[in-house]
Amino acid sequence: MDQGSCGLSSKPKILVVGDTRQSSGDPIERLDGACEVIVVPTILRALARLKREKLAGIYVTSEHLDEAFHVGKLLQHERVLEGLPDGVLLLDVDNTIIWSNGRLAEWTHRDSVLGENFYKVLGSPDILGPDFCPFQTALSTGSPSQTTLRVGDSRYYKIHAAPVFDGDCVPRNLLVTVRDVTQETLQQQKLAAIHQAGIELADLKPDELLQMSVAERVELLKANILHYTKDLLNFDVVEIRLLDPKTGRLEPLLAVGIEPEAATRDLYARPQGNGVTGFVAATGKSYLCEDTTQDPLYLEGAKGAKGSLTVPLILHDEVIGTFNVESPEPGAFTESDLQFLEIFSRDVAVALNTLELLVAEKASSTAASVEAIHSAVALPVDEILNDAVNVMERYIGHEPEVTERLQRILRNARDIKQVIQKVGQKMAPSQALPQPFEQEDRPLLRGRKVLVVDADESVRSAAHDLLERYGCIVETAHNGAEAIFMVRNVDSATHYDVIIADIRLPDMNGYDLMLKLKEIEDPVPLVLMTGFGYDPAHAIVKARQAGLQAVLYKPFRLDQLLSTVEQIVQATPVRNA
């Protein structure tokens, strides 16, 4: 422990290094009264006091002269150390900081770090290795050691610890350098993520692609791009447009966080009058907009956006579209972000080409006609069925004649759908697809009746499109109550082989729907749909315990949907018509 007064004294302070009591003519006795004497056991302790206090002089005992010579050199170069971009520190065996060049104090927003534990100053950081006990290793082995520290979620420091020897003794101090490697670490992480993203974007089986429509391919690509841009690249606002080489129009492909008017705005690959997107598409040059309010080219995309970054999608040295991200903060994007997005955009362009999205798939005129009929008729007929069963629920037991008329409406509506489907199959047989890409035959699905329950019209419409091409008979409902009415008002000849319902319906969750359907039939051939990680009411867990056989996680692929329906068909006992 240091000796001497630390109070408020007007006397000059003299620092004495070492034990003077064993020497003749103790200097403390000679100086006492005229000076304030501060005694420390080592030169390194003296160095720490020099850093904190103004002293009139230093007295060093003979046993510390060699050590003082080396430390004196350190003090001569202290100004150089203060100017270094890296932190330089002296630690004792307890990891206490006894000297620092001030860089660590600057990084941790402290006035001083002297006397503090090194790890506590950094908030108990995670040690990432390669050495997980660097200070102990350096002291015990007498050799330097290094490791990387992570502070919070966003700061990284590389440290190098070297032992300080006092003669042949065991080292009792460490010289530690600390380098802020946050930027290069984050860049390495992003580059690795981009590399993996590029691999996975195009990691699609050819037979899967051939079974997909243009809309399905777009949705698949959207899901993949959004996953990587949000979770890995930390871009929340995304807009991708594809260039029509004939018209020069930039067709919207993906828009998340963009104002609806901006997402549907007509833009062309021209350097003037078409915003940053048109300029990038026309010139093939990336564009970093530091402040949108001061940029003459910028047209509002995301509401309140202050920063914008746009890069061209390039395939075989030709611009095929644009990739734009925006931020509410000015100057939000750096040159590194520009580099990352340019790399990622090349992978996106390759994935677009792989998915055959650059040239719109043209179906034959008969196939297009059938698709139009399905789109125009399928959901309206479902609405008739929904309304009929709702009215029927009110009249059962009251007006037999009305009930009979409603049942006839139900039969006729279902007959209309089946006739349309059969006509469509004749008009657009599988041979309409180019050979050898004939549609896979899945006999288990043909003639199976499927009820899809979802409040989203696009989901109900997609169910018709995806399942009816394999021979399924699809009906839909908006909510749980309608689904119950639909199930209750079918006879044994028209029962549902599979019921697919969203886990979160407007009036109930998937588990509650399952319990109500169990009152009508048991087992219930139910499949629940949910996004990954979304199940706040634990509906899936409860439903599984109650006998649920399958779950579909959105976004799912076509083969997963078909396989799940086949699984339920095979697991459900055959009913007598």
What CATH number does the domain containing 104 carry? 3.30.450.20
| Residues contacting residue 560 through CB under 8 Å, at least 6 positions apart | 552
Lookup: tokens for 98: 């006894």
Alpha-carbon torsion, ordered 197, 201, 206, 208, to 10 deg: 110
**Rounded alpha-carbon distances, angstroms, from residue 415 to 128, 410, 419, 466:** 66, 9, 6, 20
Report yes or no on 360 lying in a domain. Answer: no
Does residue 438 share a domain with residue 421?
yes
Does residue 562 share a domain with residue 528?
yes
Domain count of the fold of the chain? 4
Does residue 210 share a domain with residue 310?
yes
DSSP element (H, E) containing 59 = strand 57-60
Q: Is 118 exposed, middle or buried (0-12, 13-18, 19+ CB in 10 A)?
A: buried
pLDDT at 163 over 60: yes
Does residue 344 share a domain with residue 327?
yes
Does residue 128 share a domain with residue 86?
yes
The CATH number of residue 312's host domain is: 3.30.450.40
pLDDT of residue 362: 38
Is residue 436 reached through a cis peptide bond, with omega within 30 degrees of 0 on the bond before it?
yes
Report yes or no on 28 lying in a domain. Answer: yes
pLDDT of residue 436: 36
Report yes or no on 577 lying in a domain. Answer: no
Question: Contact at 8 Å (CB) between 309 and 269?
Answer: no
Lookup: tokens for 319: 């611009």
Model confidence band, residue 2 (pLDDT cutoffs 50, 70, 90)? very low
Which residues form the domain of 134?
A: 82-180
pLDDT at 7 over 50: no
Question: Contact at 8 Å (CB) between 500 and 451?
Answer: yes
Lookup: tokens for 281: 């598409």
pLDDT at 332 over 80: yes
pLDDT of residue 437: 40
pLDDT, one tens digit per residue, over 30-81 is: 666 667 777 776 666 666 666 666 666 666 665 655 555 555 555 555 555 6
How far apart CA 507 and CA 272 sit, in angstroms, is 51
pLDDT at 520 over 70: yes
Lookup: tokens for 558: 């076509």
The CATH number of residue 551's host domain is: 3.40.50.2300
Does residue 31 share a domain with residue 96?
no
pLDDT of residue 372: 62
Of 94-98, 335-339, 396-400, 507-511, highest mean pLDDT: 507-511
Please name the residue that has the structure tokens 């009305």.
402
How far apart CA 274 and CA 544 sit, in angstroms, is 53
Terminal C-alpha separation, the chain: 95
Does residue 348 share a domain with residue 294?
yes
Q: Which domain-ending residue is among 158, 180, 202? A: 180
How far apart CA 155 and CA 132 sit, in angstroms, is 18
Does residue 102 share a domain with residue 161?
yes
Report yes or no on 266 lying in a domain. Answer: yes
| Residues contacting residue 177 through CB under 8 Å, at least 6 positions apart | 86, 87, 88, 89, 159, 160
Of 30, 36, 35, the closest CA to residue 7 belongs to: 36
Report yes or no on 51 lying in a domain. Answer: yes
Of 567, 569, 392, the closest CA to residue 491 belongs to: 392
Does residue 51 share a domain with residue 28?
yes
How far apart CA 147 and CA 135 sit, in angstroms, is 10
Q: What are phi and psi of 303, to 5 degrees?
A: -65, 125
Does residue 162 share a domain with residue 198?
no
Cα 385 to its chain centre, rounded Å, is 41
Lookup: tokens for 515: 């319990």
Lookup: tokens for 576: 């007598």
For residues 529-546, average pLDDT: 76
Q: Which amino acid is at 108?
A: T
Of 251, 277, 272, the closest CA to residue 357 belongs to: 251
Q: Which domain-ending residue is among 144, 162, 180? A: 180
Does residue 505 share a domain with residue 553?
yes
| Residues contacting residue 433 through CB under 8 Å, at least 6 positions apart | 439
CB atoms within 10 A of CB 280: 27
pLDDT at 358 over 60: no
Report yes or no on 548 lying in a domain. Answer: yes
- The DSSP bridge partners found for residue 154 are none
Of 471, 429, 430, the closest CA to residue 450 belongs to: 471
- The DSSP bridge partners found for residue 500 are 452, 527
Which range, of 239-243, 343-347, 506-510, averages the lowest pLDDT? Answer: 343-347
- Residue length of the chain: 577
Cα 153 to its chain centre, rounded Å, is 14
Does residue 172 share a domain with residue 192?
no
For residues 524-553, average pLDDT: 81
How far apart CA 158 and CA 257 sit, in angstroms, is 37
Q: Which domain-ending residue is among 180, 202, 232? A: 180
Report yes or no on 576 lying in a domain. Answer: no
pLDDT, one tens digit per residue, over 414-429 is: 777 666 656 655 554 4
pLDDT of residue 450: 92
Report yes or no on 260 lying in a domain. Answer: yes
